[in-house]
Amino acid sequence: MAVNFEYNGVTYKNAIELTRAMPLLTSVMVGYYDGAEVLLANAGALCYDTVQVAHDPETLQPNKIGKRITTHCRDSHHNTVIEHGAATFVKKVPIFVARQDLRARHASFDERSLRYCRATDGSLTYFIPHYYSDRFIQSADEKGLSHYADELRLQRDEWIEDHERAIQRYSRYTDDELNGMWDALGLNPERVRETQRSRLPVGINTVYMDTRNLWSWIHHSEKRLCLRAQDEIRRLRRQEVNQLAKVFPTVFGDVNMPCYMAGGCPEAKKCGLIQLDETGKWALPYLKRKNSTK
């Protein structure tokens, strides 16, 4: 397993320091099964006595047998072959994103506990929607929608006030200085801290480590890369797929939205944005529209 606590070119001494440096809505690969793709190719080859498969990365070159077996198994949903590899990410996301992330069940998680950790160190940050950014509000002004721009400024102030107040009160009532009071009242300060968490809004950050086998990462990625998924979790998934493709190019090189992978939309309710060309591989109208709005 290769382990690396690096973000933006800086290597941190452990996962905690890494998460402190990560901005909200970030997922960083901190571990992966080095050489897993060779193992996957050999797992597939074992099924068919394909003795031509090699034990080195050469077998994963274009048109080589190891690459063909691996992608055949992946695309035929011979999932167990793909399960022999694994990767671990550390994430810092709002709680409402984490709740969606944790729904995909084939994973091992460890999450920062607010029973044991303190908020007073500034580690609790919170999500602010893009439509409250200066840039967005300014663009509303420029479009002659000053009335709505003013409304957005007001809403943003309230948003910040709500979150800051929740964090401040949560910090105050979970402070060690109050331990004497809770003790005197016959209450366990740890239990009090647990219940005080309910003061915090779901836009507050949480941090956790998420390990999955490669099949599970593919399944999870495809589901949440779908344009019907919430933007915030889709952005997270995109970051993860990009990092997975760097270390596992055979398996993840072309992992994308489910309609690309299945050659058509598997959802009953369509996004209405994607129309695949006759090869089933390219969503031309969507790509054109996306590029024209850059």
Ligand X SMILES: Cc1cc2nc3c(=O)[nH]c(=O)nc-3n(C[C@H](O)[C@H](O)[C@H](O)COP(=O)(O)OP(=O)(O)OC[C@H]3O[C@@H](n4cnc5c(N)ncnc54)[C@H](O)[C@@H]3O)c2cc1C
N-to-C CA span, the chain: 39
Residue closer to ligand X (CB basis): 101 or 124: 101
Residue showing tokens 């939205």 = 257
Q: Which stretch binds ligand X (CB under 6 A): 42-50, 69-77, 219-227, 237-245?
A: 219-227
Specify the DSSP class assigned to residue 280: S
Q: How far is the CB of 227 from ligand X (least distance, A)?
A: 9
User: Nearest distance from residue 229's CB to ligand X, in Å?
Assistant: 4
Choose between 37 and 222: whose C-beta lies nearer to ligand X: 222
Give the sign of the dihedral formed by CA 155, CA 156, CA 158, CA 163. Answer: positive
Sign for the pseudo-dihedral over CA of 157, 160, 163, 164? negative
Q: How far is the CB of 102 from ligand X (least distance, A)?
A: 9
- The position carrying tokens 């109050």 is 178
Q: Is residue 224 at the binding interface for ligand X, with CB under 6 A as the rule?
A: yes
Please report how close the Cβ of residue 145 comes to ligand X at its closest, in angstroms.
30
The three-point CA angle 148-152-158 to 5° equals 145
- 53 touches ligand X by CB under 6 A: no
Residues 93-112 that bind ligand X (CB under 6 A): 103-106
Interface mask (CB under 6 A) for ligand X, residues 157-196, using x and -?
Answer: ----------------------------------------
| Using rule CB under 6 A, residue 269 touches ligand X | no
Q: Is 77 among the residues that bind ligand X (CB under 6 A)? A: no
Residue whose CB is less far from ligand X, 19 or 216: 216
When asked if residue 227 is in the footprint of ligand X (CB under 6 A), the reply is no
Residue of the chain from 119, 226, 257, 265 that contacts ligand X (CB under 6 A): 226
Distance (Å, whole) CA 195 – CA 177? 17
One-letter identity of residue 210 = D
| Dihedral sign, Cα of residue 148, residue 150, residue 154, residue 156 | positive
The tokens 């997270």 sit on which residue?
236
Task: State the nearest-atom distance from the C-beta of 108 to ligand X, in Å.
Answer: 13
Closest to 206 measured CA to CA, from 81, 61, 100, 71: 100
Give the number of other Cβ atoms within 10 Å of residue 52's Cβ.
10
CA separation for the pair 68, 81 (Å, rounded): 13
Using CB under 6 A as the binding rule, whether residue 229 contacts ligand X is answered as: yes
Total residues at the site for ligand X (CB under 6 A)? 12
What is the rounded distance in angstroms from the CA atom of residue 233 to the CA atom of residue 101? 7
Q: Between residues 195 and 230, which has the closer beta carbon with respect to ligand X?
A: 230
237 binds ligand X (CB under 6 A): no
By the criterion CB under 6 A, which residues form the site for ligand X? 103-106, 216, 219-220, 223-224, 226, 228-229
